[in-house]
Amino acid sequence: MIDLDWLSLAALAATAALFVGVYFLRRAGASFTLLTVIALVVGIGVGLLFQGHLDYVDVIGTVYVNVITAIVAPLIIVSVLASITSLGSLAKLRTIGLSSVFWLLLTNLIAILLTLGLALATGIGTGAQLELAGVDGSTLTGLLRPLDEVIVGLFPSNVVGDIASNNIIGIILFTLLIAVSYLLVADRKPEKVRAFKDVVDATKRVFFKAVGFIIALTPYAVLALVASTTSTAVARLETALSLIGVLVIAMVACFVDAYLVNGVLVKVFADLSPLRFFKLITPPQYTAFTTQSSIGTLPLTISTLVRKVGVSEEVAGFTAPIGTTIGMPGCAGIWPTLVAVFTVNALGIEYTVLDYVVLVVLGLLVSLGTAGVPGTAIITATAVLTAVGLPIEVLVLLIPISAIAGTASTMANVTAAATSAAIVARRAGALDDEIFAGRRHAPDDEDDADASTTPTAAPAAAPAPAAAPTPAAHAAATDSATTADDTATARLTPVP
């Protein structure tokens, strides 16, 4: 006999009714950002009303995360390939590549120092009574791997396996090998690899069309995911209240880093209005907050950077994917640092300036090659505590609030990646101020305008050749100039 939870069914029915409401709001012309905000607020209400009875609603959010995660690996491959093959030279690749890594690591360093300052100033953990005797940390120890295995694991041994496991570093390294090989051959005999470039560009357009369909479902997924997150948070409220200091500082550090620190960086180094920048990247921020997955948010991040912020495809398609595995100030910087200082103070351990310097360096190192998926903060914190000789059993006590803090830390990760991409684009002369200001749509808007609802018409209905240069013409244009107009081909499916 089937055991039905009628409250869970009621929650599912209420969610379905709200989905219908979101659909009609969208048909009425509500913006994507507004729909996402409404879904966020309504989702909180559903989570509070049906707390503990969201099993069926959870399925909706899980399916969305699985689908969007499934497309991440091929999206990274075609994005990085298309970006690098359009650069036209290894010199440009070196410039964008090194600049991307530098700014991603810098955002993490600033986040670590910010958290260290907040934690030391507040004395977080001082006077806490921790009972670690009966705490089993063996499961966390199993998350760690020897350094040699970590290094070897960064390099692909089985491309199919790397794609299946979303080994982002391995995928990027393999793609870089193919892309660099293309540039070397194209430099001498461009006619020999023109067909390869055509295939890459065509594949990219197909995948981005598919991404458009998935992105269109984001408000619905946000509603379901927020309801689930709210329900979980309420269930853990008693435990969270006992560790409220850690949770509050984690949230404050994440929001200060995301908005204040990145706002200053965007203003000073990208010469963009922070307020407008944050308004434009609101959808990926909300999605990151609800899914707790930088990788799962990647398609929307790239789309927003290109279509709304005005970052060139070459930069967005390279910097954003790398930002899901390098830097990550929320999960690899703020949380591990905060947990370490909390442990030191709670256990009354004497820490010197040199010890804190080592802690900062380790925070930077653990961000290299760490996948931006839910639960990453636990892995990075485990690595840091183990490296500095602190008991990882403390993490077991903090697990109930780790998931709550993970919402803000993932949002900080995505914000830092978007900020880094904007800065890299500005310094490379690949940021379109007209698109950022909203005075001009990104190229090919008309071609993909209905991507989220209706498949594109037959090729005969495509824009005139003048509006959509051939890949060969695009490559020539890229070699001759570095302005934002060089990237006027094959843009991402628009955000609804």
Hey, where are the domains in the chain? 8-437
Q: How far is CA 400 from CA 1, 52, 177, 241, 405, in A?
A: 34, 16, 42, 10, 9
Q: How far is CA 312 from CA 167, 232, 279, 433, in A?
A: 25, 39, 19, 11
pLDDT of residue 370: 61
Phi/psi-derived region of residue 144, left when phi > 0, alpha when psi is between -120 and 50, beta in every other case: beta
Structural contact between residues 386 and 137, judged by C-beta atoms closer than 8 angstroms: no
> What residue type is 487 in one-letter code?
T
> What's the topology of domain 8-437?
Proton glutamate symport protein (1.10.3860)
pLDDT of residue 460: 39
Greatest pairwise CA separation for the chain in angstroms: 72
What stretches in the chain show pLDDT beneath 70?
Answer: 1-4, 127-156, 165-166, 168, 233, 235-242, 369-376, 400, 443-496
pLDDT of residue 225: 84
pLDDT of residue 175: 85
pLDDT of residue 476: 41
pLDDT of residue 147: 54
pLDDT of residue 454: 37
Contacts of 492 (CB under 8 A, 6+ apart): 208, 211, 212, 302, 303, 306, 307, 313, 442, 448
Distance CA 216, CA 276 (A): 22
pLDDT of residue 215: 77
Q: Whose CA is closest to 431, among 269, 212, 294, 260?
A: 269
